[in-house]
Structure 1
């Protein structure tokens, strides 16, 4: 009964294990003795493949004449990820499913190589996979098998003969270097002097890797309302001998943003057609290369040539704060996340108040939000970011604007008051700040996250002292006038009295 192998990948092109040596026993490399005029050349014909049969004791060598020409055998190919703990015939890496192998019989003069004779073994002495077809050798059409979830691809019902095993398709796997083609003889010699008709092969396998990137790109405007941001996803597609079978890019938009559009998808800066080369999922989260798009990719890549796939997505900015985004790229079944990147937005919340009573809010003030100068100060405020509408009765002017990308979570800004509320005057220096806006800040009290709140005071206008022409002055003049009249009357009476005397 064939033992199910553990996940494995050896450091040699392949390891061939006769069935009787496949039960956890320690194996070692052998160089078979000459078997009847050339049988021992099998190990050389394997082009570096390691036979796991132990060295036979004198007199224990298999005898070519003992081969049963009418028997059938099998080859079990085991495909596993490379692992440092692997040993010959005892894998330690994960199995790889979906890989296609092809087994073809090597024919000599149109017929099976006669391995039941010494002449047959002599004929394959020193033969390498690159030698066939040629030199009288041909290949039959062969049969294919695909590794299952345990990494096993069985080939059964094989007649006695000499076979070429080739890895012919990667399936849903990112395989950088496929297994080198190798030979298998049915049967294989063992260290007990017998022949084994059921052989396990552990071809060497090197999986590929790639590191996609994501960049938070340009924002459409400085102010948040109506703003959009671009995100660029880069996929360095590694060189590979096999054609790529699938590539998808998924981007589930994070909080504070909504999807706008996939702007473009390109290969080596050549734009792909969204109608034929790729499709977008119904929920707009995923781009998948279709057949024509994969054809363009595979026309570029080969064993020495890589390619770059680039996708650009646009989102609308719905909130302030650190808005993060991550994409997932799946190449031939291998998913890899991009680094998380962010676009960062913040707010400045101003309240216009009376300088004598801050509980009194003032309508009608107008402000300009400007960048701080090169020194991070407000001595010479920089470019205009936004101009506010006049404050309402609550005295509030609110600015929401771009702060930076990724680690740039703070920005210094200045405020210039350009119009004072009615009845109030602009200060001699109407520039305020700098205010340091931190997109990563958390809410504190009544102040929301990513927001700086400040009160801006104004002084009420006061005119000079004017003549008393109001009601109070009139009353005073009246009283004084009456007093003067009374005084005048008294003086006149006194004079009149004196004249009579």
Structure 2
């Protein structure tokens, strides 16, 4: 009997080591916990055991046998007993160990082996999924659902024998397994639209959020995109949500939160996503949001994408807006402001000069009594915070003339500039002078000449009257 026991131990140790090598993951048949006395000797076929699956972000156990890394909750595992000829594998015999020697998870079912219906368990907050009350036998452990976790590659299926041999030659009926896991990752993007011909009055900005969703073994259970609008802007609308350029239907494929900050994929939208990723192909989810521009300056915005419970922020991007503040003044006295002037705001030419001003950005209404004309307009995105513009005066104030060259600038508008005195931040202020028209001094048109003409005129009128009176008297006589 002693010889049979020794032989059985060797077979068990060899087959156990082989089964662990086949799992393709970092897993150990741990010794019994301190204080527990493992059974030494023949396997007790009537005993029961357990499998504790540990799911953690790291791939291995620490030196003390405990799992390393943060635990992952919500992952589903299924344990099925491997049956030989419809019955449990007889691990209390050498024949039983010989039957499973060299067996891999892909061989089952087949070759006389079948699987029972099995049981499932979900890892808790400590990353543990317990399977208890297991009879002596050979078991297949499979990761069957990722839950609210971004798992790119699930743990490979692996075998566990109850009991498992230990390094001390004892039998361990309560097995701890640490399946290897590859967590997924993704990098969402955000871009701001080009609004180079837009003025701020009534302007809107478009923001595009891109989510590259990696291929996955399991279905994705959730995807949300949140965008809390930054200062200087207000929410306008979610323009569109699409998967691989195929537009999704609002309220059917996705819904928008009551505060308009978040888009959430609904069941039909997730089905469309999973139809792509289940085929081991990545997918691109794109959302476009529109905001109203309420201010000038560098207006920043960041979105957060949460995929299967993993939140990732997009890079912070900005849309930049600036202003040009013009005051029309008399060239002889700059304290005199002039109403009625009209300007065109144009882009600087390709050399950044105003020799040949470019596209029209905005045309002003006539300056008011304070002589002021304001332009607020798009400058650029992100690091592009400056823009050169030109001003063309098209109508001079009443009584004034346009200069020979009515083009002014270039003015460099910096959306990132700070306020100076009465000038708001992101604003360039400038005075534009006009010359008042004055006619030539014609001869005899001054005050002395006018008086002389008046006296002569009165004398002529009086003389004419006297002559007329004399002729009238003679005609009566």
Q: Quick check: TM above 0.5?
A: yes
382-391 vs 43-52, which moves further: 43-52
Secondary structure at the counterpart of residue 114 of structure 1: coil
Aligned pairs for 1:431-470 within 5 A: 431-469=407-445
> In the aligned structure 2, how far is the partner of 1:440 from the partner of 1:323?
10
* Contact 2:27/2:60, CA 8 A, preserved across alignment: no
378-387 vs 299-308, which moves further: 299-308
Task: Render the CA deviation track for 1:430-458: whole Å, top value 9, x for unaligned.
Answer: 11100001111111111101110000111
Query: Which stretches of structure 1, 4 residues or longer, exceed 6 Å deviation after superposition?
Result: 25-33, 53-65, 476-501
Return closer, same or farther for 1:462/1:85 CA change in 2, 3 Å cut-off.
Answer: farther
> In the aligned structure 1, how far is the partner of 2:273 from the partner of 2:191?
22
> In the aligned structure 2, how far is the partner of 1:267 from the partner of 1:255?
30
* Contact 2:105/2:157, CA 8 A, preserved across alignment: yes
1:487 Cα deviation from its structure 2 partner: 23
Secondary structure at the counterpart of residue 483 of structure 1: helix
Return closer, same or farther for 1:44/1:245 CA change in 2, 3 Å cut-off.
Answer: closer
> In the aligned structure 1, how far is the partner of 2:424 from the partner of 2:114?
78
Return closer, same or farther for 1:190/1:83 CA change in 2, 3 Å cut-off.
Answer: closer
486-495 vs 259-268, which moves further: 486-495
Return closer, same or farther for 1:183/1:499 CA change in 2, 3 Å cut-off.
Answer: closer
Secondary structure at the counterpart of residue 134 of structure 1: coil
* Contact 1:190/1:196, CA 8 A, preserved across alignment: yes
Return closer, same or farther for 1:209/1:88 CA change in 2, 3 Å cut-off.
Answer: farther
* Contact 1:45/1:124, CA 8 A, preserved across alignment: no
392-401 vs 404-413, which moves further: 404-413
Return closer, same or farther for 1:76/1:471 CA change in 2, 3 Å cut-off.
Answer: same
Which residue is 2:308 aligned to? 332
Give the number of equivalent residue pairs: 477
> In the aligned structure 2, how far is the partner of 1:77 from the partner of 1:258?
49
Task: Render the CA deviation track for 1:357-407: whole Å, top value 9, x for unaligned.
Answer: 111111111111111111111111111111111111000000111111122
Return 5+ residue gaps in structure 2 as ranges.
Answer: none
222-231 vs 205-214, which moves further: 222-231
> In the aligned structure 2, how far is the partner of 1:419 from the partner of 1:58?
95
Return closer, same or farther for 1:475/1:386 CA change in 2, 3 Å cut-off.
Answer: same
* Contact 2:9/2:169, CA 8 A, preserved across alignment: no
Return closer, same or farther for 1:446/1:90 CA change in 2, 3 Å cut-off.
Answer: same
* Contact 1:257/1:323, CA 8 A, preserved across alignment: yes
* Contact 1:171/1:245, CA 8 A, preserved across alignment: yes
Secondary structure at the counterpart of residue 448 of structure 2: helix
Secondary structure at the counterpart of residue 229 of structure 1: strand
RMSD, matched Cα: 6.9
Return closer, same or farther for 1:45/1:26 CA change in 2, 3 Å cut-off.
Answer: farther
> In the aligned structure 2, how far is the partner of 1:478 from the partner of 1:79?
114
Task: Render the CA deviation track for 1:266-307: whole Å, top value 9, x for unaligned.
Answer: 111111111311111111111111001100111111363111
> In the aligned structure 2, how far is the partner of 1:168 from the partner of 1:147?
12
Return closer, same or farther for 1:473/1:40 CA change in 2, 3 Å cut-off.
Answer: closer
Return closer, same or farther for 1:309/1:500 CA change in 2, 3 Å cut-off.
Answer: closer
* Contact 1:226/1:316, CA 8 A, preserved across alignment: yes
190-199 vs 347-356, which moves further: 190-199
Return closer, same or farther for 1:220/1:145 CA change in 2, 3 Å cut-off.
Answer: farther
Secondary structure at the counterpart of residue 349 of structure 1: strand
> In the aligned structure 2, how far is the partner of 1:492 from the partner of 1:223?
76
Secondary structure at the counterpart of residue 270 of structure 2: helix
1:82 Cα deviation from its structure 2 partner: 2.2
Return closer, same or farther for 1:320/1:94 CA change in 2, 3 Å cut-off.
Answer: same
> In the aligned structure 2, how far is the partner of 1:175 from the partner of 1:336?
15
1:204 Cα deviation from its structure 2 partner: 0.4
> In the aligned structure 2, how far is the partner of 1:69 from the partner of 1:29?
14
Name which of 169, 173, 177 aligns with 2:149: 173
Return closer, same or farther for 1:488/1:418 CA change in 2, 3 Å cut-off.
Answer: closer
Secondary structure at the counterpart of residue 198 of structure 2: coil
Return closer, same or farther for 1:32/1:181 CA change in 2, 3 Å cut-off.
Answer: farther
Task: Render the CA deviation track for 1:64-120: whole Å, top value 9, x for unaligned.
Answer: 962112211111111111269955834331111111111111111111111122221
Return 5+ residue gaps in structure 1 as ranges.
Answer: 1-24
* Contact 2:13/2:166, CA 8 A, preserved across alignment: no
> In the aligned structure 2, how far is the partner of 1:413 from the partner of 1:402?
11
Return closer, same or farther for 1:105/1:487 CA change in 2, 3 Å cut-off.
Answer: closer
84-93 vs 301-310, which moves further: 84-93
TM-score by length of 1: 0.84
Return closer, same or farther for 1:387/1:27 CA change in 2, 3 Å cut-off.
Answer: farther
86-95 vs 320-329, which moves further: 86-95
* Contact 1:38/1:118, CA 8 A, preserved across alignment: no
